[in-house]
Amino acid sequence: MKYSFIVDSGADITLVPRYLADRIGLKWKAGEKVVLKGISEKEICDVEGMIHEIEGDENCWCK
């Protein structure tokens, strides 16, 4: 199955939903665990995520 999505190549990090990470072959638990925070200091607003470093070009994502 083919998936298309936009990556901000100038950003330090690009967020994708977990289902998309799974579908492009990333091993979720193999990433670096992080806690993402926004403008609110409330702990309830924190979001857990995983950072994966991947390589690719504008046409093809590769692990």
- Burial of residue 16 (CB within 10 Å: 0-12, 13-18, 19+) is middle
* Helix and strand totals (H; E) in the chain: 1, 4
On whether residue 62 sits in a domain, the answer given is yes
- 63 pLDDT exceeds 50? no
Residue 60: its pLDDT value, please? 54
Domain count, the chain: 1
On whether residue 60 sits in a domain, the answer given is yes
Domain that holds residue 45: 31-63
How much is the average pLDDT of 40-54? 90
Confidence of residue 62 (pLDDT cuts 50, 70, 90): very low
pLDDT digits (tens, 9 = 90+) for 2-33: 767 777 778 888 888 888 888 888 888 899 99
Higher pLDDT, 9 or 48: 48
- Burial of residue 31 (CB within 10 Å: 0-12, 13-18, 19+) is middle
SS3 50: strand
On whether residue 39 sits in a domain, the answer given is yes
